[in-house]
Amino acid sequence: MALQAIRYERGSLSILDQLLLPHQSIYIDVPDVSTAWNAIKTMQVRGAPAIAIVAVLALAVELHNNDNASQSAPSILTEIHSKLDYLVTSRPTAVNLGDAANKLKTLTEKAATATESATSESVVAAFIEAAEHMLLQDVEDNKAIGRHGALWIQNAVSKTSDIRVLTHCNTGSLATASYGTALGIIRSLHANNSLSHAYCTETRPYNQGSRLTAYELVHEQIPATLITDSMAASLFSSQNIAAVIVGADRVAANGDTANKIGTFQLAIVARHFGVKFVVAAPTTSVDLNTENGAGIKIEHRPGWEVLVVSGPTVTNNPGNDSSNVEVNVHDVRSVKQAANGIGVFNPSFDVTPAALIDAIVTENGVVEKNADGVFPMHQAFK
């Protein structure tokens, strides 16, 4: 069964606490907007599409369970808009939540003003239906990204088998409504019997690659190997890697792409070795209002995330096979690794220049550079 980060039915939302994975699968209730804001901020839920969906569904649940009947349509409209604005402040770099908020503001504005008979209940109903549709649409979009991306890579490297890829960050079922973006392409390559091996990086913050991506690859029985973020050049020089496939938190109008910290250096290394560099993202991650990467706000996280690691203790000595150890989930400890007094630089994201990207894969298809070496983003995403 596929991993499910988000469980929703009308009036009820729970999320898999991603800070506890891979050792514990515990769902937490998200009954309201403030719980959602905290879950997003603390990374209990993460991944640009998943963040957006959890945020809007939390508001849908709150609205469904509150008694709004006595409110006027303009009053509930103001409340919805201000709660959306608040949710958008949780994390700044990914555009998906802002995009979802803008779409829902427009939709509820129309619902509140379209007819004189509009009520708070009709506005709330329109909001809930649209938020629920976003959950379903994301799954379809990811499957389409998977199909388009797998085909593009097969054509680009003229191979339909024995394809090896590297992915960075966490872009699978846990980061989306289901299936995944970059991991969705890997899933499609695997389903087509085209994939021989997937490599994943550890990826800061919180080593989401080794905790979440690795967990999903093992769960899906996709042949996979973990590397540290500093091993990419070594990997490329020793293995025949066809492509690096990454997700995106925001793709600017020129194709510059903000994604998890370390993506930029992977793109540089990939270019050195002639390895294809593929960005996979739904159109909700494309931000035509931001001209280029310089306009993307990069989130910086607390320094202690670099200084300290936390996790369950292990109770046996792994010997030579360190991939499986007994884990004591009831004894979670934090360990300080770095020297006291050292400063920390901890941006969560970086921006990969469009020049280093070969293809941008969305649910609508693959965008490649034109003869001038430019991604025709405005044409592709009118």
Ligand X SMILES: CSC[C@H]1O[C@H](OP(=O)(O)O)[C@H](O)[C@@H]1O
Residues that bind ligand X (CB under 6 A): 46-49, 51, 94, 169-171, 175-176, 181, 208, 247-249, 259-260, 348
**Cβ 169 to ligand X shortest distance, Å:** 4
Q: Which residues pair with 278 in a beta bridge?
A: 245, 359
Task: Give the closest residue to 309 by CA, choosing from 170, 226, 205.
Answer: 205
Tokens of 117: 């008979």
Q: Which is nearer to ligand X, 46 or 83 (CB)?
A: 46
How far apart CA 132 and CA 122 sit, in angstroms, is 15
**Cβ 170 to ligand X shortest distance, Å:** 5
Q: Which is nearer to ligand X, 14 or 171 (CB)?
A: 171
Query: Using omega within 30 degrees of 0 as the cis cutoff, is the peptide bond preceding 205 cis?
Result: yes
Residue with tokens 């990826």: 203
How far apart CA 139 and CA 40 sit, in angstroms, is 20
Tokens of 164: 């090896």
Q: Is 143 exposed, middle or buried (0-12, 13-18, 19+ CB in 10 A)?
A: middle
Q: Which is nearer to ligand X, 94 or 242 (CB)?
A: 94
**Cβ 177 to ligand X shortest distance, Å:** 10
**Cβ 14 to ligand X shortest distance, Å:** 18
Q: Which active-site residues does the annotation give?
A: 249
Do 277 and 243 form a contact (C-beta atoms < 8 A)?
Answer: yes
Q: What type of residue is 44?
A: Q
**Cβ 69 to ligand X shortest distance, Å:** 37
Q: Which is nearer to ligand X, 330 or 345 (CB)?
A: 345
How far apart CA 134 and CA 44 sit, in angstroms, is 20
Q: Which is nearer to ligand X, 47 or 255 (CB)?
A: 47
